[in-house]
Structures are given as structure tokens and as C-alpha cells.
Chain A
């Protein structure tokens, strides 16, 4: 049987000041799924995300495609788990877009030809192939977000994790990113509190609240349950109806 893309068992984590962030999280995501992890501010969503590639290490067990996250496996884990952070400015730290996209493959010790091929393919996947020689700080926020996604795609991850992908995007850039993300044939975990955005990309939703998984199921059921959302300080935008909202 193929191992699960993500298998988290009884994960606990507290920050150095003692504040508990994760209090026994259990989560299993199968390969090929697109899962939204939703929850109010401070629910532990970003903390959970940083456990998926071993940046943070709590008590409990985290396995990615059957490989346990631990000291000896970090390089393999980080190759397989691509994380796109909320602020693209901190992911684009070199002086040209192509150099940024090449950063991960260079760390993976690939050949010059292979790196060039991946840079080209990744930029094409996010419709940014014409911007390779541009400096990232000259791009619009939406373009930066797409390039940040390309910097991760160039590592050909098996699991793509996105932290608040829709934050600060204008409607057009939002739409472009949805189209790109839906077209990517990898397992996706989207951490967000933008419920309509999650609904457009994912078929399953997990509510994280108070450091625990409070609900897990088909996204139609979760977002269709107003009482459940309300009890975890979540709310759909005014006028948004779950049925028929998916384009």
C-alpha cells in the first residue's frame, strides 16, 4: 500500500515561552489530495505547516510519504515538501527571478543543464517565463507570489504546502493563482482563513482550532455547516453560498 503523503500522530508543540501551539494533532493526507487547513488567527496553522518540513520539531510523529521527519531525513523531506510562505519578499532574496528559482535545485546539487531546464519549466508553470532576468523587487505582489511558487516547483516537490496564498492579492491575481494551483498535479495543503479561496482549490477541509483538529471532512460539508464555523470563529463572506460557488 502506498504510504500517506502526510501522517501526523499526536503532535504537540509549545513555543519557548511555554505557550502551547499544537496540542495533540492527528492528521492523515493521502497522495493526490488537496486539503485546506482552516482556522482562526492563532489556531496553530502556521506552526503546523513548519512541522511538515522539519523547520519546527515537536513531540509526536510526522511522516511524509512514509519517511519520518528527523535529523537524518531533513534533506530528503525538504526536497519532497515545498513550502510557499505568506510573504514572497522573504522567499525571493537573490537579485534575479531565475537565480531565485535556481536556488533550490542548486542546493540539490543538480547539473547546470538540469537546473536551467527546471528554471524554465517552473517559470512556465506559473506564467512567468518572460521575467527570468528581472529583479524580484520590480514585480507586482501577485507576480512575486507566482515566482515564489516557482522557486518551490523547481525542486519538483511531491507535496506543496501554501501558507495564506491569497493574502494581499487583488482579484485578478487571486484568479490567476487559483488557476495555476488547480493545474498542478501534486498533493496540496493550503493553510488559510480565506474560506472561499480554500473552497475553489480543495475538496477536503480540516479545521484547526486551539491547537487541535476540530473537524475534518469534505469541504462542502465543513463550509456548509454555519454552526460549526461559528463555533471556531470562522465566517463565510456575506453573500457567499457553498452550493454552486465552485467554478
Chain B
């Protein structure tokens, strides 16, 4: 079998192209910056998580006030950490097929990192401790634990995190739609209905779907965060608790969920590299991503299952969407990944082994997530 030999490794000709495309020094640095910052933050948050567990086990003594500050920071920090890593990963693997700007990615990175720092200041110095969920009206009932300035700092931080991710989504969407000639084409719709033979590669489908859902979620997030900031400044502002809860989870749940789909986009490029087999766009893949577009945007209401004042139809829609979201993942992405590995003379390295084990975790975690939505 013909192989293309690069500096250090062997890549199948069909799988070549994605990562064998030359990258500039700036691009590599930006990639490392995203991965490095995200991983550093992830390990820092792990330490906070362990600290909380040790406190619960009475191994270390932490005051209630500090425990909940740490909890707030840990929730928001873990989301930002994994988001940064996966944003960087998808950006790097998309670079050979669509035109992306390192400068604009840096702007998004800057907004998110500054946002995370403000959350850190609000929690550690300002004592802000509502959990990452900041459900209204808890931020305005501090019981002497935090001052309005730290509430404002926290929400400006959250605004920047959402804004940074929105910038990234705009960048992806602009690039995929201009490269493939419109949104429908970037989503593979003409290919699905047989009107075009050319389909965008899987990572582009992932990027387009993530960008669309990410922008909708960021819009919801911006709305609630501005409302909360408004109330911080003027206590006379009235925020409906049910409205606030819906928007908070629409924002938080959806962005956390999209991190997995950012990772799926990176997977489409990285796995073929180790398997030496191509991952091509097929009609089931297009259907899977179109379904995911809808499921991700409608699943958040499962965070309100215990609120019986939430309209009943929203509960049923969310129940259906949360469960059905497992179908594209299990039948298309994980299954195809396993087909790629089967009998492939897979190149087992530390990275690819961890990658492979990640799938193993993905299956049961999907199953338990479905159970927990019951």
C-alpha cells in the first residue's frame, strides 16, 4: 500500500491533507497557546475539585464561605478550560480546509481569558459564591458574603466568556459559509438531497453546527447576563425567576454540550491519522449533524424538570431531544470511529490510546446522561 512519509510518521494518502498541511509558526503558537492555557486551567481546577472532596471527607478544613467560592470558580473554570482546548483543537484541524484568522482567534482567546480572570477576582477577592449557575435572584441575596462590585465583576467576566466564544463562532461560520457557498452547502444539505456531489468534510459540518448553536446560546447568555448586570446597578429592576433560569441553562448547558461537539470535529481529522483510513462525509453523517443542530438547541430544558411551572410541552421536547441526541453520536460518530479502527493497523501511541479510551468513556457517559435526564 502506498504511503506518504512525513518527518516522523506514516500517513495514509487518503487521510493526508488535514494535518500534513503546512502550518505557520504563528498558527502553531496559537494552537499551543489555546491548548496550554486550557490544560493549565484544567489542572488548576482539578486541584480545586480535589480540595473540595478532601473538605467533604474532613481531611482538610475549609470554611463554608471558601468552599462555595471554590465551587463557583471550579464550575466556571472547568467550562472555560475545556472550551479553550477544544476551540483550539477544532481551529487547528480546520485551518487546512477553510480560511481562518489567527488574529481573530486571539481576540476570542483574550476575551475568554480576561473573562475567566474576572470570575477569579469576583470569587477569590470579592467572595462571590452562587455556583456557576448564578440563578437569579441568588446573586442579589449575598447575606454579607459578597459586595455588588464582585457581582458586577462576575457578570462582566461571564459576558466576556460568552462574547469570546461568539467571536469564535462568527469566525467559523463566516469561513465555512464563504468557502462552501452558503449555509446550506456548509451543512451539506444539497449533497444530502442529491443536488450536489461535493460535500464539505466532516470537520466543516461540525464547525458549522457548533457555530450556529454557539451563537444562539451566546445570544441567550448575553441577554441574561446584561439583565443581571442591570439589576446589580439598579435594585429596582425585576427579573422573572423562571425566565432567568431558562436563559441561564440555555446558555450554560448549550455551551458545555458544544464542547463535546467541538471535540467531535477534531476527532474526524485526528483519528484517520492514526488509522490510516479516511473519514469522509456520508449522508448519515449529514443527517446526524442536522439532527444534532436541533437537539443541542432544545435539550437544555431538562435542567428544569423539577419546575412544574415550566410549560409542559417544553418538558416533553427536552425529554425527546436529550434522549435523541444520543442517536447521531452512537450510530454515526462512535460507530464510524470503531469501523475506522477495526483491522486498520492502528498506530498506538499515548495520544491515540487516550483518544481511543475517550470513546470508551463516551459510551457509558452518554448512557448515564440519558438515564439522568429521566
A and B: interacting chains: no
Interface residues of A (CB under 8 A from B): none
Interface residues of B (CB under 8 A from A): none
